[in-house]
Structure 1
Amino acid sequence: MDATVPGNSRAQDAPDAPHRAHRPRTPDEDRRRLPGVLSGIADRETARLRDGTRPWEWWLERAVLHGRRYGYTDTLLIAAQWRAATDVRSYEEWRAVGRQVRRGETGIRLLSPPGGLRAVFDVAQTDGLPLPPPARVSPLGLPSDRVGELSAALRERHGADRIEADSAAFLVLAWLGLEPRPPVFPVNAFWAGAETGDRILRLGRRVYETALDPSAGGVMAAAHRFFRARLAGSWVPAYLAGRGFPRGAQRRWRIGWAPPGPAALTGHLRGLGHADEDVVAAGLARRSGDGRLFDTFRDRAMFPIRTPDGAVAGFIGRRPDGGDGPKYLNGPGTDLFHKSELLFGLHEARGALAAGARPVLVEGPLDAVAVALADPAGHAPVATCGLSLTGAQVGALGGIADLGVTGVLVALDGDTAGRSGAIRAWETLAGVGGPLDLAALPPGRDPADLLRDGGRAAVRRALAAGTPLMDLVVDAAMDRAGGGLTTAEERLAAIRAAAAAVTARPSGAARQAVRIAARASVPAALITEALIDAAASG
């Protein structure tokens, strides 16, 4: 059933139309024009939220009605086209529950990615079987109807900032039928937009589903709750505190502990009703030769790795000092855990990154926590967890941070392996517009080591004393190609190798020309010629 263009008698704030004579548009022209019109409506409503013309509570009240089924933008479009809409579904969805959209009714147009359209209808536009009254649900494990208490829990458990936590808490309690009082928000909703709005809705839906069924949220969420519940009785809290990570930081980063038993987690997940196949597919257990399951992580401090919207996608476990196995153990790749796409700490750092903090690339989870503790406002850490940085990870980081302004500070371990990792990171980061620098870490030390031995001030000093990352790249290129730089042939090979490296990021060419000339003991003009030749041949 087709729907007509928004603008019927029930619509509000229809787009302004110029008062001039023009030929009527054809139906095909109207359809092509609609996505732009709808985007304009959504942009205008967002602007009204941001400037205080509409309070943020206005959107939340409509998200209570439509947010469990639709996203931020479509919720705005429903409200703009039909002020009194209460239950909006597609033509097919109404038929599935025994109701029929009346002939001639005008549909509410929504945007369907990528750039398409769909029509939905309010229950008032339908006839048929009565709908059952909404059930009043008793929330399991949630505070009664107090938004503040649930908001605090969301900030602790999911790393949400106050605006997002307050908003999601209100939605969850409203969906549970508890009629909560909206929290107080600033007059201007400067955060309004599809990214924040959809993140609030995703968090709210996930918490709502978990409240209905404690086993909801998937096997990963259940495993994380298991690890968290066993932290207090383990060696992990005292060990982390001894390294400079206070209990508050352990709570904020949702660190847990995997018990040493061969199948402690597997038995717990089976008791919740999770199938063995799901536990294995999530990378939480493996099969022995005789088919029995044993836990992937045993006697390890557990750090959750999250997707951009906060869902736990995988884990990295650290063994106790002197324990068996590798120091850090990554879970295997799964349908949810794509190692080449996720960065540890990116979800937790999103607020600081959006506010302009500089991204800091570190190797492991403890390094990330150390940087976050040392300078939570100025630097936002993300960790590759022992893997090489990928273009997909840089893209995910650039989706939150303005890399053209902040650039990236690389703070990998100050040893040979760390320097090699920094050079590989530079190859991936070379296209970033902002500055690329290398933190001043002592040989063989990482940010977590500095926190343990020198406190937060030592970490801050290392972050502040950065040098251009290209210095390291150019020096390494000269060392590889030029050996001891004792002959003319070695110096020429070193100059050519360095020039090739500089052309990948010519913004630092002037500084590097001076450095190359000094190292090779040749006139600067010769280096300039080499750079020109390298750029021309590249």
Structure 2
Amino acid sequence: MQYLKDAGVEQVLAAGSMWRVGYAPDTANGVVDHLRSEGFGSSAMVRAGLAMWVDGELVDRHRDRLMLVARDARLSAVGFVGVELGGKVQFLSTGMALHQASNVLVGIEEQLDLLRGGATPVLVDDPVDAIAVSEMSRRLDGQWAGIPVVGDGLSTAQARMLRKFTMGDKVVVLLHGDEHRQKLTSGYLLDLAVYYDQVRAVALSCSPRELVSFEAGPRALQELLTTTRPALTYRIGHAAAGVEYEPPDRQLDL
């Protein structure tokens, strides 16, 4: 709770929140014992990515982490994303190749109302940053939906899935972090351009959750998102990209 409060997004724990956020306690068997009491077997817990065998004992796989649900293109729950209190993100799926991180997204179902209302997806690096964007949007104008990129960058499958649930033809990439992270972010701009006519970007010197934690932060984030420019006009690391980008001809597979 304190972690979310410090990030300015503690309202996601309210009863009416659209976000399905849980917490894995810092125990060896807390989740296992609870699920057993609900009638779940060991194999089901392992397949769900919630438990693992260690020295012959079934123990919790996630400990002291915020937990979110990852979904496939049918919006079926196929895995979990754990966020350590230090910010490290880990994805665990059912183990099937179809349900690897490159084939799922977090936050789509929680923001379907925003996306169907025409909100622009805003790609960020961290689930808590995505929640910060989403909560700012709901508080102010409903024009933005925060989508975290979980894994080693956005895949073509994820870009296609995101486009399926987007009403508009614009996507925003939020550039934040060190040079390595920004270069990784720039690597999926072309995948987005296959599905969106407008791939925009905005650079922040701090994370969205840090920004919205200030009193004037939500309004400042809103203003930044309304003043984006073509993504490839940004300088990523030491490589300047100063040309307008024309997306290739494409056929949308929705």
TM-score (structure 2 length as normaliser) = 0.82
Structure-2 separation of matches of 1:254 and 1:392: 23
Which AA in structure 2 matches 1:301?
L
Q: Per the alignment, in what secondary structure is the counterpart of residue 211 of structure 2?
A: helix
Alpha-carbon distance, 1:308 to partner: 4.9
Higher strand share: 2
Distance 1:412 1:296, change over 3 A: farther
Q: Per the alignment, in what secondary structure is the counterpart of residue 470 of structure 1?
A: helix
Q: What residue is the counterpart of 1:446 in the other structure? A: 207
Q: What residue is the counterpart of 1:314 in the other structure? A: 79
Structure-1 separation of matches of 2:121 and 2:78: 22
Alpha-carbon distance, 1:372 to partner: 0.8
| Residue of structure 1 aligned with 2:101, choices 339, 357, 363 | 339
Alpha-carbon distance, 1:436 to partner: 0.8
CA-atom RMSD in angstroms: 2.8
| Residue of structure 2 aligned with 1:382, choices 147, 150, 156 | 147
Please say if residues 440 and 467 of structure 1, whose CA atoms lie closer than 8 Å, have aligned partners that are also in contact.
Answer: no
Alpha-carbon distance, 1:261 to partner: 1.2
1:266 pairs with 2:50: no
Q: What residue is the counterpart of 1:85 in the other structure? A: none
Distance 1:417 1:465, change over 3 A: farther
1:424 pairs with 2:187: yes
Q: What residue is the counterpart of 1:33 in the other structure? A: none
Q: Per the alignment, in what secondary structure is the counterpart of residue 369 of structure 1?
A: helix
Higher helix share: 1
Question: CA offsets, 1:136-192, max 9 Å, x none?
Answer: xxxxxxxxxxxxxxxxxxxxxxxxxxxxxxxxxxxxxxxxxxxxxxxxxxxxxxxxx
Higher-Rg structure is 1
| Residue of structure 2 aligned with 1:351, choices 113, 117, 121 | 113
Please say if residues 105 and 148 of structure 2, whose CA atoms lie closer than 8 Å, have aligned partners that are also in contact.
Answer: yes
Q: Per the alignment, in what secondary structure is the counterpart of residue 340 of structure 1?
A: helix
Question: CA offsets, 1:211-236, max 9 Å, x none?
Answer: xxxxxxxxxxxxxxxxxxxxxxxxxx
TM-score (structure 1 length as normaliser) = 0.41
Which runs of 5 or more structure 2 residues have no equivalent in the other structure? 249-254
Q: What residue is the counterpart of 1:247 in the other structure? A: 11
Structure-1 separation of matches of 2:165 and 2:68: 22
Structure-2 separation of matches of 1:437 and 1:291: 51
Alpha-carbon distance, 1:310 to partner: 4.8
Q: What residue is the counterpart of 2:251 in the other structure? A: none
Q: What residue is the counterpart of 2:252 in the other structure? A: none
1:2-13 paired onto structure 2 within 5 Å: none
1:63-462 paired onto structure 2 within 5 Å: 237-248=1-12, 250-251=14-15, 252=17, 253-288=19-54, 290-308=55-73, 310-321=75-86, 327-332=88-93, 334-335=95-96, 337-376=99-138, 377-402=142-167, 405-442=168-205, 445-453=206-214, 454-462=216-224
Q: Per the alignment, in what secondary structure is the counterpart of residue 101 of structure 2?
A: coil
Which AA in structure 2 matches 1:471?
T
Please say if residues 407 and 432 of structure 1, whose CA atoms lie closer than 8 Å, have aligned partners that are also in contact.
Answer: no
Q: With a CA cutoff of 8 Å and minimum separation of 6, indicate the structure with the bigger relative contact order.
A: 2
Which runs of 5 or more structure 1 residues have no equivalent in the other structure? 1-236, 481-493, 509-538
Q: What residue is the counterpart of 2:246 in the other structure? A: 506
Q: What residue is the counterpart of 1:18 in the other structure? A: none
Q: Per the alignment, in what secondary structure is the counterpart of residue 121 of structure 2?
A: strand
Alpha-carbon distance, 1:256 to partner: 1.5
Which AA in structure 2 matches 1:246?
E
Question: CA offsets, 1:329-361, max 9 Å, x none?
Answer: 322453474311111111122222222111111
Please say if residues 304 and 316 of structure 1, whose CA atoms lie closer than 8 Å, have aligned partners that are also in contact.
Answer: yes
Please say if residues 356 and 406 of structure 1, whose CA atoms lie closer than 8 Å, have aligned partners that are also in contact.
Answer: no
Question: CA offsets, 1:390-432, max 9 Å, x none?
Answer: 1111111111214xx4321001424323321321121311323
Structure-2 separation of matches of 1:458 and 1:299: 32
Q: Per the alignment, in what secondary structure is the counterpart of residue 100 of structure 2?
A: coil
Q: Per the alignment, in what secondary structure is the counterpart of residue 52 of structure 2?
A: strand
